Amino acid sequence: MPELPEVETVVRGLRGPLAGRTILGAATDWPGGLVTPDRLVFAARIAGQPVRRVDRRGKYILIALDPDTLIIHLKMTGRLYVVPDDAEQHADRWVHFTFQLDNAHQLRFSDSRKFGRVYLVSDPAQVTGALGPEPLDLAFTLDVFRQRIARRSGLLKPLLLNQAFVAGIGNIYADEALHASRLHPLRRAATLSDDDIARLYGAIRQVLADGVAREGASVNWYRKPDGTKGSAQDGLSAYGRTGQPCPRCGHPIEKIVVGQRGTHLCPVCQPR
């Protein structure tokens, strides 16, 4: 599933093509992906709304219109891209939402697994209001992180995946942050020392910043809006490297299951 770096890359790739555009209409062949409103209201309501800006909140893409906000969650296999009306793309076979723009182009949402979700709301907080802080924001300081983790006692890996704790982290960057901070995924938050917390905080910000700089990890379906791959997968230290040597100590990376999620770690660098 695309995480903060992948979604941020998509947002940056859409800002240019959508700048100054107006959505003339929308169509879907899969109303199950439209969370709110219903299909008929959705098509009538979005028509004629201009695009004001394109932002991200956690793993959500927020396209601010006037007066509403179009919110899209890519889930596992979602792709967003803008192309001329008559353009044919490989991903078109899975397009389930099409947004007609005023310049003979379309914003298309392709999703082979149909797990993605689309919302049209008057207030983005209806969808994103329960999310935790943005880990790359300047306001997300070490003190803020200490205060938030001090109230937690659960296992580290599920905690990092909890979007109400910190927004935007998924399986890839949770594994990378824990490896970078030398913390075992099954450690409990209540057992962390001040130094442990500081290392984890720094690691979270570093692996996410690196992921953004490399334009996301194309380990499965994720592609940038222009169809090309990101390169973050080339710099991963733990995720997806089962049996390969740990880049820090050389011991083979192992894979375990934590909270029903495949989890990659180095048992030497990340002792239980």
Q: pLDDT of 153-206, one tens digit each?
A: 999 999 999 999 999 999 999 999 999 999 999 999 999 999 999 999 999 999
Question: What residues form DSSP beta bridges with 197?
Answer: none
Domain 4-128, CATH: 3.20.190.10
Q: What is the pLDDT of residue 1?
A: 81
Tens-place pLDDT, residues 118-157: 999 999 999 999 999 999 999 999 999 999 999 999 999 9
Length of the chain: 272
Catalytically annotated residues: 2-3, 59, 261
Confidence of residue 91 (pLDDT cuts 50, 70, 90): very high
Structure confidence at residue 50 (pLDDT):
98
Give the pLDDT score at 101: 98
Distance of CA 14 to the CA centre of its chain: 15
pTM for this prediction: 0.96
CA angle 63, 67, 71 (to 5 degrees): 30
The percentage of residues in the chain with a pLDDT greater than 90, rounded to a whole number, is 99
- pLDDT above 90 (res 42): yes
Residue range(s) of every CATH 3.20.190.10 domain in the chain: 4-128
Q: In Å, how far are 74, 197, 205, 217 from 200, measured between CA atoms? A: 27, 5, 9, 21
| 217 vs 198: CA distance, rounded Å | 25
Q: Residue 169: what pLDDT? A: 98
CATH number at 142-265: 1.10.8.50
Least confident residue range of 7-11, 137-141, 217-221:
217-221
CB count in 10 Å sphere of residue 83 = 18
Start and end residues for every CATH 1.10.8.50 domain found in the chain: 142-265
Across the chain, what does the average pLDDT equal?
Answer: 97
Identify whether the C-beta of residue 31 lies closer than 8 Å to the C-beta of residue 8: no
> Please, is 180 exposed, middle or buried when counting C-beta atoms within 10 Å of its C-beta (0-12, 13-18, 19+)?
buried
